[in-house]
Amino acid sequence: MTNKYYKDYFDLEQSDFKYKEYVNEFGRGQYGLLVLLLGILGIFMYFSFTSIMNILDEIQAFFASYAETVEGFVGLLQNYRGDIISLLFIAILTSYITSVLALRVLEGIGAAFLWVLTFLSSLISVFLIVQIRTFIADQSWLFWMLVVFALLPIILLVIFWKNLKIAARLINLTAKMLMQNKRVLINGVIYGLLFLGLTVGLAGIYIDYFIVLTDAEDVLLQIRSTDFSQSMFIILVTAMYYFLVQFTYNFYYGGVIAQAHGFYRGKKIGTSDSFKVMIKRMRAIMVYSAFSTIIYMIQWFLRQLAKRSKDTEKLTKLGIKHKVGGNVMPGIIDKKSLGQRMANWAIKMLEKLWLLINFYTLPAIVIENMPARKAIKRSANFVRTKIANLYIRKTAVRHIFRFTTVLMLFLSGGAGAMLGVLLKDYFSLTETTAIIIFALMFLVVAGIPAWLMSKNLDVVYLTFLYCFSIDKEYEELGITGIPSRFKGIFSVKCEKKAGRLLDSKQKKIAAYIGTLVCLLSLVAPVFVIFTLYSRNYTITTLGVPYHDWLESMSWATGYGLIALGIGGLMVVIARRKLLSTALLISMFSGVFAIIYINYLRPMTWDPGSVQETFDIFQMIILVLELMVISPCVIGVIAEAAIIGQEVNSERKDKLLVDLEQAMLEPDIDPMSIEPS
């Protein structure tokens, strides 16, 4: 192993990070351990494949009588395979666009949202303390216990406001990193596929060894009794599963940590470079994964002991014949007694305690090339000494990341609903059915990238928090000038920054004007919503007033689009990507609203269902107008936050330029000054 340490790769004089040396020299490749790992994976996959093939044979024999129905369903899918593939492609593209937009929103307003969320939590806490006191005046101990919990947001805001500033900056950097380096998604996709394959394999082994399909009239599933050798086999297979899952998670998300670390140091590490780093961390990752496997196996044993599997009568009602062999096997009925509840609580606490202790372990292994035991010790020390950062991460930051994921899903579902309205006639569906089906389909497709984005947000933020923490340690030791995106310390000439700031003056003016015009344009969709609900279904029977009513909404939407277009043009000139993207979505929604009002609305109104049809008509226009308003409002808020950040950045850059110019001025020799 190399004798170099992490700090040896800093060039403090140039404020640079020796990236190539770090990747190529720091650590040693463990290819022998890689062969061992592939051997374990091969053994597990062999038994998984054998069990799954046995299950497929049983299923094929059991469902032979339903072959005609299955073939008919498959044939139906084949007839629509072109449409299905096209819709899936559109849904995937939509999920990508919405993920980018959600990240831009996070970059723009994430920091402000953190402060607002903490401030509101503090206000609510004060209100609850005042209200609770009148109800539990006699229970002083309960009151003071609730006061302690209610005061946490206030303490966080007042005492740890510096930690909140750090979290706000790290949220902004997290969004930027995921925007600039989307290749980190590859790691999540690979891990997700491997995790799915391993889980299906383990389920196949369990089913093959414990459950058999029968053709008896009163029994569909029969649980096999087991002997000792089978139980030991299941224990070993389960241990292999947990180890492989833990290793794949640590390896591939460790690659995300490597890429995030490079970004933090001002470099751009690709996927192949991150894997090169992880190969050199194999020993520590395998040991850490083995430790985690032991913890999860203890949980597994406790879970089996906590489950009840002796209620034969209930199992028989489920069509399952149960034979108790006295060995460890998956429980079926989980009717919890007090002891079982305590066992389940102990299981959850064991997992949470392990995760808490190892909050920083993986970054310590990947970034500083620490052995597993030393990394766990370092993580526990960071958790103990930096509890405020951990609390902020577990509360406010987590809520902000969840909001980002939900925003992505909401935009994807809304896009699917709009497409459903467009294609309802093609698939012979009613408007309501089309909206529900397409919205659900787009939500399901977007669920995968949403999950990946959520995991990447957590991992990247954790990496930046760890990098910031070790930088603080170095500063306490007197080591300064460490390259860091948090402080913007790099080997970049200040003159270039000053030139860019001067060139951007007109662009900022265009951005301000465009943002103001966009805000004014929102008057139109608000007017449309008020006009929409100013009438009931009887308007459809009035002829000319009905068409005038429709035209007023159509023209108002059009005028709003003209204003949005003018504001959008100014924003594009100013190169404001976030607000430009938001305005594009708003304009698309407005155009679709005009098309719907004029061409896609119900042309005839059935007297028997006019109320229901009119309600759907109002709901669709309301959704479309809200889709005009929402992206524009979010974009304007984000733009305001970005403008504030730019103002602060300009002040810092100007100060930096002034300092450098002052340092470049030659010193004046007092002896050279002639007396007057």
Q: Are residues 409 and 314 part of one domain? A: yes
The CA distance from 55 to 51, in Å, is: 6
Average pLDDT value for residue range 57-86: 61
Q: Are residues 103 and 252 part of one domain? A: yes
Q: Give the DSSP letter of residue 321.
A: E
Average pLDDT value for residue range 321-338: 44
Average pLDDT value for residue range 610-639: 84
Q: Range of 547's domain?
A: 494-603+611-658
Q: Give the DSSP letter of residue 7.
A: G
Q: Are residues 440 and 535 part of one domain? A: no
The CA distance from 186 to 663, in Å, is: 47
Predicted pLDDT of residue 326 = 41
Predicted pLDDT of residue 66 = 53
**Who wins on pLDDT, 467 or 65?**
467
pLDDT in tens, 407-428: 888 888 888 888 888 887 777 7
Predicted pLDDT of residue 476 = 82
Residue 1 lies inside a defined structural domain of this protein: no
The CA distance from 6 to 9, in Å, is: 6
Q: How confident is the model at residue 514 (pLDDT cuts 50, 70, 90)?
A: confident
**Who wins on pLDDT, 662 or 434?**
434
65 with 258: CB under 8 angstroms? no
Indicate whether 660 pLDDT > 80.
no
**Who wins on pLDDT, 619 or 499?**
619
**Who wins on pLDDT, 584 or 2?**
584
Lowest pLDDT segment from 3-17, 386-400, 479-493, 509-523: 479-493
Q: How confident is the model at residue 652 (pLDDT cuts 50, 70, 90)?
A: low
**Who wins on pLDDT, 216 or 616?**
616
Burial (CB < 10 A; 0-12, 13-18, 19+), residue 492, is: exposed
Q: Are residues 176 and 75 part of one domain? A: yes
Q: Are residues 440 and 507 part of one domain? A: no
Q: Are residues 503 and 439 part of one domain? A: no
Structure tokens at 619: 């709901």
Predicted pLDDT of residue 28 = 79
**Who wins on pLDDT, 26 or 642?**
26
Residue 476 lies inside a defined structural domain of this protein: no
Q: How confident is the model at residue 391 (pLDDT cuts 50, 70, 90)?
A: confident
Pairing of β 320-322 and β 221-223? parallel
Predicted pLDDT of residue 309 = 42
Q: Are residues 409 and 502 part of one domain? A: no
Q: How confident is the model at residue 646 (pLDDT cuts 50, 70, 90)?
A: low
First CA to last CA across the chain, in angstroms? 70
pLDDT in tens, 29-55: 777 788 888 899 999 999 898 888 887
Indicate whether 465 pLDDT > 80.
yes
Domain count, the chain: 2
Indicate whether 228 pLDDT > 50.
no
Structure tokens at 143: 């009151």
Sheet arrangement for strand 211-213: 211-213, 221-223, 320-322
286 with 35: CB under 8 angstroms? no
* Mean pLDDT taken over the chain: 76
Structure tokens at 509: 């003016």
Q: Are residues 440 and 498 part of one domain? A: no
Residue 474 lies inside a defined structural domain of this protein: no
Indicate whether 73 pLDDT > 70.
no
Q: Are residues 632 and 526 part of one domain? A: yes
Indicate whether 306 pLDDT > 70.
no
> Which positions ≥6 away from 651 have C-beta within 8 Å?
none
Residue 63 lies inside a defined structural domain of this protein: yes
Predicted pLDDT of residue 662 = 59
Q: Across the strands, what pairs with 237? A: none
Residue 37 lies inside a defined structural domain of this protein: yes
Q: How confident is the model at residue 250 (pLDDT cuts 50, 70, 90)?
A: very high
Indicate whether 339 pLDDT > 80.
no
Residue 340 lies inside a defined structural domain of this protein: yes
pLDDT in tens, 77-110: 566 666 777 788 888 888 888 887 888 778 777 7
Q: For the chain, give the longest Cα–Cα distance.
A: 120
Cα dist from 565 to 156, 515, 518, 577, whole Å: 43, 11, 9, 15
Residue 464 lies inside a defined structural domain of this protein: no
Predicted pLDDT of residue 353 = 81
Predicted pLDDT of residue 374 = 92
Q: Are residues 504 and 440 part of one domain? A: no
**3-class secondary structure, 308:** strand
pLDDT in tens, 110-138: 777 777 777 777 677 666 666 666 655 55
Taking the mean position of all CA atoms in its chain, how far away is CA 615?
A: 35
Q: Are residues 57 and 205 part of one domain? A: yes
Backbone angles phi, psi at 308, to 5 degrees: -100, 135
Q: How confident is the model at residue 286 (pLDDT cuts 50, 70, 90)?
A: very high
Average pLDDT value for residue range 206-224: 58
The CA distance from 434 to 424, in Å, is: 6
Q: How confident is the model at residue 364 (pLDDT cuts 50, 70, 90)?
A: very high
Indicate whether 388 pLDDT > 50.
yes
Q: How confident is the model at residue 151 (pLDDT cuts 50, 70, 90)?
A: low
Q: Are residues 297 and 171 part of one domain? A: yes
Q: How confident is the model at residue 393 (pLDDT cuts 50, 70, 90)?
A: confident
Residue 453 lies inside a defined structural domain of this protein: no
Pairing of β 16-17 and β 10-11? antiparallel
| Domain end marker among 411, 427, 446 | 446
Average pLDDT value for residue range 276-296: 90
